[in-house]
A and B are shown apart, each in its own frame.
Chain A
Amino acid sequence: MTREQFIQTVKCEQRGLRRFLLTLCRGDRMTADDIAQETLVKAYLALDKYDERSKAKVWLMKIAYNTFLNHRIQATRYHYEDIEEADSLRGEDAADNTFRFQQLEQAMAQLPETERTTLVLHYFEGYKVEEIAQITDSSEAAVKKRLQRGREELKRRIEK
């Protein structure tokens, strides 16, 4: 792949990549974009190892996920909102979507990293099980298990 082809690929995939990292970084745009930049630099340096038979977006997401994990090990924990803040934003109508989304957000924040990543990739980014397995370097059975466990946990934490 030449530099021009790489740039074209990045232009097509950067939105999904940055959105995924933004979700993993819980809305911290600066950190998400820093990790995205680092991901794309690593991808450019490893262009000779890229197998053109595999999908570019899956390859980029795999590098992004590994870069995020490395970054998380080095950085301090991300701050996430306290549960009390969600209560104060509860609307009078229990079916209020904003409140539901906040509950979902907080439930997601409390999931283990691997389950949260799997749910984000599947439900928010639309990746299939086999693609998620490639990105997270796991088996398809493990991905299915994480999806199932993640869903059970979300159902348990989100109030009816």
Chain B
Amino acid sequence: MIQDKELDMLLASYPVDEPRDENIFMEQLQHRLDAIDFAKAYHKAEMQKARRKAVWAFGIGTVAGLFMAIIAIALPSPIELLAFGIHSKIMLFLMEYLPYVFMFFCAILLCYGIIEFINNQGTNVYANTVKSA
């Protein structure tokens, strides 16, 4: 068994393996970091695009919804025409609020349509960009 002092000298003088090809190593690292930066920038751009689409869909939907609400309020209630002979309170209730129910489903369909339209526009722009590249 060796002594402490001898072990210290051995550890201090041990020729540790040195790394080589520093330039190649740094070059490889730079390429990797470039790929990461590209992916980050692309992701950021996609998020911004998605936010813009959401704002547009919200804006158009709100305007269309308000427009439809005004029309619905302006129209006469169909209850006077359709309630002839009906005594059920539930049916009468539904008929009274039929314009609003109709308006609600139209709003959902309109919203879905706007989002699909904007998404398709985005897809077409991407497809054209890929084609031209």
- Chain A positions within 8 Å of B, measured between CB atoms, are 3, 7, 10-11, 14-15, 18-19, 22-23, 27, 29, 32-33, 36-37, 40-41, 44-45, 97, 100-101, 104, 119, 123-124, 151, 154-156, 158-160
Contact = CB atoms under 8 A, between A and B. Distances in A.
Contacts of A23: 16-17
Given A7-B33, A124-B11, 9 more contacts: A14-B19, A15-B18, A22-B18, A41-B29, A41-B36, A45-B36, A124-B14, A151-B7, A158-B2
Which 7 residue pairs spanning A and B have beta carbons closest together? A18-B19, A123-B11, A22-B17, A124-B16, A158-B2, A155-B1, A160-B2
Given A3-B37, A44-B33, A156-B1, A18 B14 contact: no
Q: Is the interface of A mostly helix, strand, loop or mixed?
A: helix
A19 B16 contact: yes
A101 B11 CA distance: 9
Contacts, number: 77
B133 interface: no
Contacts of A160: 1-2
Interface of B: 1-4, 7, 10-20, 22, 25-26, 28-30, 32-33, 36-37
